[in-house]
Amino acid sequence: MNRPKVLLTRRWPDEVEQYLAERYELTRNVEDRPLTADELREAMATHDAVCPTVSDRLDASIVDAGRGRLRILGNFGVGVSHIDLEACRRAGIVVTNTPDVLTECTADIAITLMLMVARRAGEGERHVRARAWTGWRPTHMMGTRLSGKTLGLIGFGRIGQATARKAHLGFGMQILYYSRRRAAPEIEAALGARFCPTVEELLGASDFVSLHCPGGAETRHLLDAKRLALMKPTAFLINTARGEVVDEQALAAALRSGSIAGAGLDVYEHEPRITEALFELENVVLLPHLGSATRETRVAMGMRVAENLDLFFSGRAPRDRVC
């Protein structure tokens, strides 16, 4: 019996690729470069499974190329806003993701960005590398502490709650959150969290605002110029969710004018392209989408995709089906 044909759109950790190669007819992206739209269409039309990442934009024209051949998209990551799920439903293509395994590492990056922008760590590191530092002095690069401040979380799923736990227990931060569904009372109590009924209320009350909501049409530019103006001038914005949640032009203007104190970004609206104005600002920390970038997590993500493929091709329900 022929083995299912599986394509990985990017390089994956070696042990995951080896596991898949032992079980499937595996097509690797040896050059580890982004596939073009035409290459993605060809992959969809010639494989039983395609395993994309957040950098692959699978719109209806690409999904439709797999109609009649492609059976499953095993997404390497939690978010699926880069995949046209309705087109997948019409084509009868199953979509899975990788929840749980990247929660802690992504929350770590949210905390990292909070510390970096509040304590001016990125700016300070650049200052030292430029050989501009002349020594310690009482008023040099004074920042803002995290301890005791109010953290507002927009989105309160696994990653949002993990961030809340680290911030509350580690730094004694007060936690506010906005979410479509209110958390259970015992979760609120454990995390010292208080529910805000509107985004606007949360923005006005928070010293740090951290985004943990999904991407997509509903949340595109959720943080626009109008909402950014509601934040305190001493407040910081952190985004480890999806780039399109923030209007980057409006954010750059707010940072430049000082209407907010700073921002820490790990994701971008038109990734990997970054709004040029952000490069000119010292009060923003820019990371290259490192949220899940630990060896342990990336291997676990790959093995979670492999588990979903194994279940699917053995006739059982995938563990993490989203469509």
Q: 3-state class of 114 per DSSP? A: helix
* Helices vs. strands in the chain: H and E counts, helices first: 13, 12
Q: The tokens of 282 are what?
A: 């010292």
Residue reference for tokens 């530019």: 221
| DSSP annotation of 210 | E
Q: In degrees to the nearest 10, what's the CA dihedral of 79, 115, 274, 77? A: -20
Q: The tokens of 60 are what?
A: 């209806």
Q: Looking at 271, 307, 319, 321, which residue is catalytic?
A: 271
Known catalytic residue at 182: no
Query: What's the chain's length in residues?
Result: 323
Judge whether 321 and 90 are in contact, CB under 8 Å: no
Side-chain half-sphere CA neighbours of 167 within 13 A: 34
- Residue 100 parent element (H or E): none
Q: Looking at 57, 220, 289, 321, which residue is catalytic?
A: 289
Rg (CA), the chain: 21
Known catalytic residue at 289: yes
Q: Is the peptide bond before 288 cis (omega within 30 degrees of 0)?
A: no
Known catalytic residue at 271: yes
Cα Dmax for the chain: 73
Q: What is the C-alpha to C-alpha distance for residues 181 and 196, in angstroms, rounded to an integer?
A: 11
Residue type, 229: A
Q: What is the C-alpha to C-alpha distance for residues 263 and 22, in angstroms, rounded to an integer?
A: 45
Which segments of the chain does DSSP mark as H helices, in order? 14-23, 37-46, 60-64, 85-91, 103-118, 121-129, 158-171, 185-191, 199-205, 225-228, 248-257, 276-279, 295-313
Q: Looking at 82, 242, 298, 304, which residue is catalytic?
A: 242
Catalytic amino acids?
Answer: 242, 271, 289
